[in-house]
Amino acid sequence: MKNYVTRFTLKQRIEHASVMTLFLVLALTGLPQKFFEASWAQAIIGALGGIDRVRWVHRAAGILFTVFTFTHLGVISALVVTGRAALSLVPTRQDFLDAIQQLEYYFGMTDAPAKFDKFDYKQKFEYWGLVLGAVIVIATGLVLLFPIEATRFLPGEIVPASKLAHGNEGLMAFLVVIVWHIYNAHLNPDVFPFDPTIFTGKISAKRLHHEHELEYERLKENE
C-alpha cells in the first residue's frame, strides 16, 4: 500500500469547507442576537455594521445552509438508491458494541480496542447529530422568517417556540463543534496540533491502519 491514501474526495472537501464557512457565519451573526444584552454581543453587532446588517447576513447564510443541506441529502439519497454509494455513515448495532468495547478499553477492562471501518461510531453520531440539528434550525428558522405564513397552518405559539428552539439548538451546535468536534478532529493526542486530512484529502497508511483498521485491511486486499 502507498504511504498515503485518499480518504476524502474533492467534492467532500468542498462540502466540508462550505459547511464550516456557513456555520461560522451563522454562529457569528446568530449568537450575538441571542445574547444581545451582553457587551460582547453588542460589540460584535457594532463591528459588523449594526443589527439590520447582522440579521440580513444571518438570514442569507441560513437560506444558503438550507439549500446546501437539502441538496446534500438529496444527492446522497440518490447515490444510495442507485447503488453508487454505501450506507457507511448509518449507525448499526456494531457501532454501539464498538462504543462499549472502546470504553472498556479506556478503563482497562479489555486489552483490545475496537476496530473501525471507514467511519467510527463517534463520526457517525456526530454526522447524524449535525443532520438532525440542521433540520431543527432550518424548520424553526423558516417559521421565524415567515411567521405569518406559518401561523396560517400552525398555532400561533409555534413562533415563540421556534425562537426558543432555534436559539438553543444553535448554541448547542456551537458548543458541540467547539468541545467535541474540534477536540476529536484536531486536538486529541493522536493528531495534535492539527489534522489536515479533511483539507488535503490524504491520510497516511500508518494512521489509517491505527484508526480505521478494517478499512485499511479491505483496501490492502483490493490492491
**In the predicted model, is pLDDT for residue 36 greater than 70?**
yes
How long a stretch of residues is the chain?
223
| 1 — pLDDT class (breaks 50, 70, 90) | low
pLDDT (tens digit per residue) in 40-97: 999 999 999 999 999 999 999 999 999 999 999 999 999 888 888 788 889 999 999 9
pLDDT (tens digit per residue) in 142-196: 999 999 999 999 999 999 999 999 999 999 999 998 888 888 888 888 888 888 8
Cα three-residue angle 201-13-8, rounded to 5 degrees: 40
Would you state the cell numbers that stand for residue 218, as one nine-digit string? 479491505
The CATH code of the domain that includes 189 is: 1.20.950.20
Instruction: Look at the chain and report how many structural domains it folds into.
Output: 1
DSSP state of 4: E
Residue ranges of alpha helices (H) inside the chain are 10-34, 39-47, 51-81, 93-106, 121-145, 147-150, 158-176, 182, 197-200, 205-211, 213-221
CA gap 214, 113 in Å, rounded = 13
Range of the domain at 18: 4-221
Would you state the cell numbers that stand for residue 181, as one nine-digit string? 468536534
CA gap 63, 53 in Å, rounded = 15
Complete DSSP assignment for 196-220: -HHHH-EEEHHHHHHH-HHHHHHHH
Cα-flanking dihedrals φ and ψ of residue 163, to 5°? Answer: -60, -45
pTM (whole model) above 0.85: yes
Q: What pLDDT shows up at residue 221?
A: 84
